[in-house]
């Protein structure tokens, strides 16, 4: 086994408690939490600016960061790096949208962002009326999913578990 590959024992916790003595967290959940590439507070300040408004450029940048964060998270979770690259890519292609929704809800992305995301998407490439309707329906579903997760008041450990299930 080369040094770049992991062994099953590598994912055992080392006994330290970086999550403030929360005994209900299992070792595996702690590993999932450690896989988070950025603290949520880093996105939170960007999500909620002083006047609660964001420009299209900032929203697109935030969306790109949330998507990048999902990929980085996946690369850091136990056993994912052990998969063949083609399998990693296939899994991310199948689950990127769910991971994006979870990351958007976790960072408390304001719901007024959805119409701006739609405007940015419509501005980027002209679409037929039929495609516009389908696109706007996707934005509506996104908005509803983020709102449902916010209402549930999901904590960081729960978000990590949800992302690992996806």
pLDDT tens digit sequence for 58-108 = 777 888 899 999 999 999 998 999 999 999 999 999 999 999 999 999 987
For residue 158, the tally of other CB atoms under 10 A from its CB is 15
- Rounded CA separation 157/27 (Å): 12
Higher pLDDT, 73 or 116: 73
* pTM for the model: 0.69
Q: Is the pLDDT of residue 121 over 70?
A: no
User: Reduced to 3 states, what is the DSSP secondary structure of residue 162?
Assistant: helix
CATH code of the domain made up of 19-165: 1.10.565.10
User: Are 139 and 63 within 8 A, CB to CB?
Assistant: no
Boundaries of every domain in the chain: 19-165
Which of 107, 122, 17, 22 shows the shortest CA–CA distance to 67?
107
* pLDDT tens-digit series, residues 25-51: 688 888 888 888 876 544 544 454 444
Which of helix, strand or coil describes residue 21? coil
Helix locations, the chain, DSSP H: 27-34, 40-47, 56-76, 85-106, 113-124, 129-152, 156-165
pLDDT score of 51: 44
- CB burial of 81-95 (b: ≥16 within 10 Å; e: otherwise) equals eeeeeeebeeebeeb
138 to each of 39, 82, 133, 145, 149, how far by Cα in Å?
28, 33, 9, 11, 17
């Amino acid at each position: 086994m080369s040094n770049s590959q992991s062994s099953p024992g590598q994912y055992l916790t080392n006994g330290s408690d970086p999550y403030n003595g929360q005994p209900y967290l299992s070792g595996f959940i702690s590993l999932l939490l450690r896989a988070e590439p950025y603290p949520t507070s880093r996105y939170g300040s960007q999500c909620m600016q002083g006047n609660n408004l964001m420009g299209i450029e900032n929203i697109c940048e935030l969306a790109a960061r949330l998507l990048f964060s999902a990929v980085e998270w996946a690369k850091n979770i136990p056993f994912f790096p052990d998969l063949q690259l083609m399998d990693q890519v296939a899994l991310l292609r199948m689950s990127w949208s769910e991971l994006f929704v979870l990351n958007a809800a976790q960072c408390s992305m304001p719901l007024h962002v959805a119409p701006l995301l739609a405007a940015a998407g419509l501005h980027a490439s002209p679409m037929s009326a039929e495609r516009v309707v389908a696109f706007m329906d996707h934005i509506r579903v996104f908005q509803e999913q983020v709102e449902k997760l916010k209402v549930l008041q999901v904590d960081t450990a729960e978000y990590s578990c949800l992302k690992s299930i996806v």
